[in-house]
Amino acid sequence: MTVLTPFETLELNEEKYIRQITSVLQRNMARDYPAGATLRDAHPRHLALLAATFTVAPDVPPELQIGVFAKPMTYDAWVRLSNASSTPQSDLHKDIRGCAIKLRHVGGAHIPESDEADTQDFLLVSMPTMSLGTLKLFRDAIVLSLGVSPLLFVAKMLLTGKGRMLKTLQRAKTNPASVLELRYWSTTPYLFGSQQVAKYSLVPTSDPRNDFPPVLTETYLVDDLEERLDAAEATFDFMVQLRRDPAHMPVEDAAVEWTEVQSAFIKVATLRIPPQEFRTEERAQLAEALAFSPGHARVEHRPIGAINRARMTIYKILSDFRHARDGRAKPV
């Protein structure tokens, strides 16, 4: 039985859609990858897994001193940078990029859905909204595009007047100079304590270079990371945006942007990625072993909305399937 917060509304056929999405994705993972080398269904190509620190600011406003942000402290973290395409592809392709952060040893009570007792994950991408922002649209995209034909899904979107959503998605796909110079957003909402709802954003603060290599290669984003992190650190501000205007900042439609006119983003922490060597076999294996999910959350930061409710269930099932199929244990 789905338990809802006062901010949420159950979507019609929600559990059915979740089962359908999970079935298609799991079938495709078994079809596309050999046992022992099963990649994720989403963001399968990681650019890097980076050791980092996440330092809560000393001047967090009182209304935001909640959960992992309750007091100034520094958490050890892992940061996984990735290409979003469900098909592993080189850096030459225009794409949305992902940034998943896993805080370690956070303590506190976790939501019942979490299978990790001492972590807090933040999942972000390089666009402010999820263009297919309802569970039904997400289900249509998966079941029709991956289960039948992408053309069928495109035709349905055009015939129902939703073609602009596809255009939004395509515009968000780019070839950036560096994934360390991109801004990232959570796109979906989360509790921030029991009485508030928030979204997150990660804003780069390192000195920008904006310099493309003379020739883009299949690994140019990874090469850029290696060059930049050879001697210098990279930093980001972690920002929180509270839901100030419920009428125009919906919980159940992640395609609607919460604008900064409605509610400004406020810095609550600094993500610091020190110089490091990450192109190692050990780091590559750990990148595959780690699981990132919005469901790895303290109770104060519960994921909400139908998309997040679905992700919590789907991510766990597919992660368990991937690890069992490959005979790989999740790191403790």
Per-residue pLDDT of 7-55, as tens digits, reads 999 999 999 999 999 999 999 999 999 999 999 999 999 999 999 999 9
Query: pTM of this prediction?
Result: 0.94
Distance CA 69, CA 192 (A): 10
Which pLDDT score is estimated for 164? 73
CATH number for the domain whose boundaries are 14-325: 2.40.180.10
Q: Tell me the average pLDDT across 81-99.
A: 95
- The CA-based angle 320-326-329, given to 5 degrees, is 60
Question: φ and ψ at 14, to 5 degrees?
Answer: -60, -50
Q: What percent helix, strand, coil does the chain show, rounded to 5?
A: 30, 20, 50
pLDDT band at 167 (very low <50, low <70, confident <90, very high): confident
Express each pLDDT in 313-332 by its tens digit. 999 999 999 999 999 888 86
| Residue 100 Cα to chain centre, angstroms | 5
pLDDT value at 240 more than 90: yes
pLDDT band at 149 (very low <50, low <70, confident <90, very high): low
Which pLDDT score is estimated for 231? 87
Express each pLDDT in 272-281 by its tens digit. 999 999 999 9
Alpha helices for the chain (secondary structure H): 14-32, 135-140, 150-159, 163-172, 220-228, 281-289, 306-326
Q: Tell me the average pLDDT across 149-171.
A: 69
Q: What is the mean pLDDT of the chain?
A: 93
pLDDT value at 218 more than 80: yes
Express each pLDDT in 188-201 by its tens digit. 999 999 999 999 99
pLDDT value at 304 more than 70: yes
pLDDT value at 169 more than 80: no
pLDDT band at 205 (very low <50, low <70, confident <90, very high): very high
Three-state secondary structure call for residue 158: helix
Which pLDDT score is estimated for 131? 84
Within the chain, strands assigned E span 45-56, 74-83, 97-104, 119-125, 184-185, 190-191, 197-204, 234-242, 266-273
Q: Tell me the average pLDDT across 91-104.
A: 97
Greater confidence (217 vs 160) lies with 217
pLDDT value at 153 more than 90: no
| Percentage of the chain exceeding pLDDT 70 | 93
Bridge partners (DSSP) of residue 54 are 75, 271
In one letter, which amino acid is 191?
A: L
Lowest model confidence (mean pLDDT) among 51-55, 132-136, 243-247, 260-264: 132-136
How is residue 227 written in tokens? Answer: 């060059």
Contact 249, 261 (CB under 8 A): no
Picking from 299, 283, 295, 298, the residue whose alpha carbon sits closest to that of residue 331 is 283
How many C-beta neighbours within 10 Å does residue 283 have?
A: 17
pLDDT band at 132 (very low <50, low <70, confident <90, very high): confident
Lowest model confidence (mean pLDDT) among 68-82, 140-154, 166-180, 239-253: 140-154
Distance CA 110, CA 296 (A): 8
Which pLDDT score is estimated for 111? 98
Picking from 299, 55, 297, the residue whose alpha carbon sits closest to that of residue 186 is 297
